[in-house]
Structure 1
Amino acid sequence: RMAGPDPDLGPGLGPDPDLGPDPAETIVDAVAVRGCGTVGCEVDFTGEGAAHAAVRAGNVQVVAALCRARAGVAVPGPRGITPLHMAAAAGQLDCVRLLVGAGAPLEAREKEGGLTPLHVAVQSRQLEVVEALIAEGADRTSRDNRGLTPLHTAAQLGPAGAPLLRALLASTQSAVAPPLLPAAVNAADNSQRVTPLHLAAATATVAGPAGPTAGGVEPSIIDNGSGTDESGRKGGACSAAEAAATEAIQVLLGAGADTRATDSSGNTPLHVAAARGNVAAVRALLEALRAAADADADADGGSNHLLITTTASLANSSGFTPRQLAHAAGHHAVLQLLPK
């Protein structure tokens, strides 16, 4: 048997105590001790360095040795992808902690999309890595080349994004990770000016094929493989599945997301949900509007009905209200929910 990681523990998860340390780790340490400070900084024919290779192999011991030597841990590959990007995408929590501890830049951006390691971790649904990066001070408001923050990225994941949104929005005890301000929660992207709540409203579905849209709601905003809420279309009451589907919306609303925010086409999140036929999302947004209207009515001593009706009847830039969009697309269950 060769010395190295114990196969019973998985690749790179720990050395076999009977065989001694990984020889690659020993070599890295030995070269570093002799003062060769560039160990690990060389690149192979792909343009990647030793740290990239160690992370790709999941070899925590070699990553640790390279980090001790401060050897190439911050060197990007030809596409701007750093070892930290790779570790974040793969959910290699130990490697992430080692690389950050050795000075790997938290805000490094890959070239194609301008994604930071935090964007990548969210995109790959690596919750523990997201939490670790935030604790180390990763910027939760950083924007990629399209102006999307990690919150946008999580919101696009639909129900699966709720735990990630919760982690991104959580107040922390760390001085390097202060609570997010409402402005960050309502940040709009560069082109269509969509907020995370717009994206969550588009993806808060239970099941079924994609439904038609109409009236100036950009398909690229809302068509990402999510389906129409069939249980809602049949008029079913709010179920556990529906609650799960709208969890991302609830998390964003709890953090101060603006239900009246409009995109570049004048669509509110309710327009998007209605055009998509997302009954669960429409119901959640109407409940949020009702709660806000109740608060306003209590403060003013008036009625909340007019406030709800006015907000739910706003027309987008094409002159369509949420109800008209739902009608044009044949989403009858949505029509039953929206005020006339």
Structure 2
Amino acid sequence: MHYPPKNYTAKRYLQNGDDIEGAGPGGETALTCAAVAGHLAVVELLLDQGASIICTDSLGRTPLFNAVSSPVRSGCLEVVRRLLKAGSSVTVKDTMGNLPVHGAAFGGNRLVMKAVLEAGGDVMSRNGQGHTPLMIATQNGHIGLFQWLLRQGRNDVNDTCPNGMSPLFIAADYSSADMVETVIKAGGKPGSRTIDGWTPLHAATRLGNVRMIRALIQAGAEPDAPGMLDNTPLNIAGKEGQLEAARELMKAGADPLTVCSKGASPLYNAVVESNSSIAVEMLKTLERKDEEEGTVYPSRASRVGKGLFRSDRRFMTLVNGAVYGLEFKSLSKLLSMGALDPFADEGGDERAAAYIELVTPADAGLPPKDPVLKACMRRMIARRVAFTATSWLWPLVLSAGKSGGEGKANAGRRRGMAPVGVARCRPERRRHRQLELFRAFRRYCDKKEPV
């Protein structure tokens, strides 16, 4: 079937009196649309009819900018050359400070970039975010253009924008593993940092890209490099739930017990964020390390043992975190490794606090006249006068099983609430899981010596 040429249709509209400078919803004119589509014949016609080359759309972009940033390959170069020949400027910025040279980096066409540079574009110019064309090409994964720009001799592969992001960080944060490997081969430094302290390895871990992580570590990236608030890449893996990334980092020697400035370790983050698969994997790694050293659990003497017993600045231990997140797998593994008596609180009677909190829910399945509980109650009454850290338990005892809500859970953590108490203060909507925890703790407690 024969179709009329595109310029024939455009010519008919012009002959019918259509406004050549009429703009669409985004401020784009007919010349802009033809340039983006790569229709050279229509561009020629519109220019011959006096179409403006300096008109801009709602983003402040000229027809030239839209043409150079267009992903269309067919006819794109010819359109760009025609617009440049017509006098289009390469120094007009859009509303975000991008020049046509930045637009060409978005498009990724090496020949288009060359044409813009020959027309006076500056390969080292920066847009409103401080990004150079090289950085934009990296962000968009244009490997061929990235390599060509480096060969021009003016670009530094380790140059940074104002926030400290290098091309390698940009590749790890926005692009692909192929781009990361290309930047590394070009001399990108894996130890580069943003002004907030993040490294490319942190960015790759957040995405969970194992191939990126492996390439960065092989290039010399530090597995335990501290970022913002001293968070390591493994901390990020624990928070974001990136299991394979965590495995790769631990294989490279990342430590699950390295704490950040808030006192939280990667293991703690995995537990609190309810990423039980990662938490169990970390615990298995730690268990293997201690077995190699001949440590018998539970042991506060070993480094791993100290890490399991450590609490953060809110007095939350690993067991507290597992209870608060209702993470049974993590809790089971922690208890099997001896990670702290789950009934401990700060300065109070540990076993008394445990039994009182266990018996508080009326439906927890405990006998109402438990002799051990009675003994604990007597000891609690004797301590009450001194207003110890256990005094906060009385409102819970008197509440006869009513849910405490999130507010009490937070207050309890600040005062050193026992893990069972944290479970007690979970919202009603998770009541059935609370009861499972209470019963699990009771079974665990029964294995201990009576008070």
Fold match (TM-score > 0.5): yes
Q: 1:186-205, CA deviations, whole angstroms, 9 ceiling, x for partnerless residues?
A: 22212x3111111111111x
Hey, what's the Cα distance between the residues in 2 that align with 1:272 and 1:115?
26
Q: Cα distance, 1:103 vs. partner? A: 4.2
Which of 66-75 and 250-259 deviates more?
66-75
| Alpha-carbon offset, residue 335 of structure 1 | 2.4
1:106 lines up with 2:132 in the alignment: no
Question: Does 1:116 find its partner at 2:116?
Answer: no
Cα distance in 1, alignment partners of residues 185 and 139 from structure 2: 18
Counterpart in the other structure of 2:319: none
- Secondary structure of the equivalent of 2:96? coil
- Quote how far apart the aligned CAs of 1:313 are: 2.1
Change (3 A) 1:254 1:97: farther
* Pairing of 1:1-340 with structure 2 (within 5 A): 1=5, 11-12=37-38, 23=44, 43-46=54-57, 48-49=61-62, 51-55=64-68, 59-65=76-82, 72-111=89-128, 113-137=129-153, 138-157=155-174, 161-171=176-186, 179-180=187-188, 182=189, 185-190=190-195, 192-204=196-208, 245-289=209-253, 311-338=255-282, 339-340=285-286
Work out whether residues 69 and 105 of structure 2, in 8 Å CA contact, stay in contact via their aligned partners in 1: no
For residue 136 of structure 2, what is the amino acid of its counterpart? V
Structure 2: 5+ residue stretches without partners: 9-35, 287-451
Of residues 122-131 and 325-334 in structure 1, the stretch that sits farther from structure 2 once superposed is 122-131
Counterpart in the other structure of 1:176: none
CA deviation string 1:6-41 (max 9, x = no partner) = xxxx9439x7xxx9x9747998xxxxxxxxxxxx9x
Instruction: Give CA deviations for 1:49-92 in whole Å, capped at 9, x if unaligned.
Output: 55325425663114235667996234433432111211221233
1:281-309, CA deviations, whole angstroms, 9 ceiling, x for partnerless residues?
111111222xxxxxxxxxxxxxxxxxx7x
**Structure 2 counterpart SS, 1:44:** coil
- Sort the Cα spacing of 1:69 and 1:257 in 2 relative to 1 into closer, same or farther, 3 A: farther
Inter-partner Cα distance in structure 2 for 1:25 and 1:62? 12
Mapped to 2, the partners of 1:259 and 1:120 lie a distance apart of 27
Letter in 1 for 2:274: G
- Contact map agreement 1:134 1:168 (CA 8 A) in 2: no
State the identity as a percent: 24
Distance 2:120 2:45 in 1: 22
RMSD: 3.3
Letter matched to residue 195 of structure 1: T
> CA distance change for structure 1 residues 26 and 136 in 2, over 3 Å: closer, same or farther?
farther
Per-residue deviation, 1:163: 0.9
| Pair 1:249–1:316, CA change in 2 (3 A) | same
Higher helix share: 2
**TM-score, length basis structure 1:** 0.61
Q: Deviations over 1:231-289 (max 9, x none)?
A: xxxxxxxxxxxxxx301111211222121211121111111112222111111111222
Q: Distance in 2 between matches of 1:90 and 1:52?
A: 10
SS of equivalent to 2:229: coil
**Structure 1 contact 25–62 (Cα < 8 Å) conserved:** no
Task: Tell me how far apart the structure 1 counterparts of residues 159 and 151 of structure 2 sit (CA, whole Å).
Answer: 15
Query: Residues 101 and 24 from structure 1, CA distance in 2 versus in 1: closer, same or farther, beyond 3 angstroms?
Result: farther
Q: Is the 8 A contact 1:198 1:272 kept in 2?
A: yes
Amino acid at match of 2:180: L
1:148–1:189 contact (8 Å) kept in structure 2: yes
The higher relative CO (CA closer than 8 Å, separation ≥ 6) is in: 1
Q: What amino acid does structure 2 have at the position aligned with 1:104?
A: G
Contact 1:262 1:268 in 2 (8 A): yes
Gaps of 5+ in 1: 5-9, 28-39, 172-178, 205-244, 290-307
Cα distance between partner residues in 1 of 2:80 and 2:205? 41
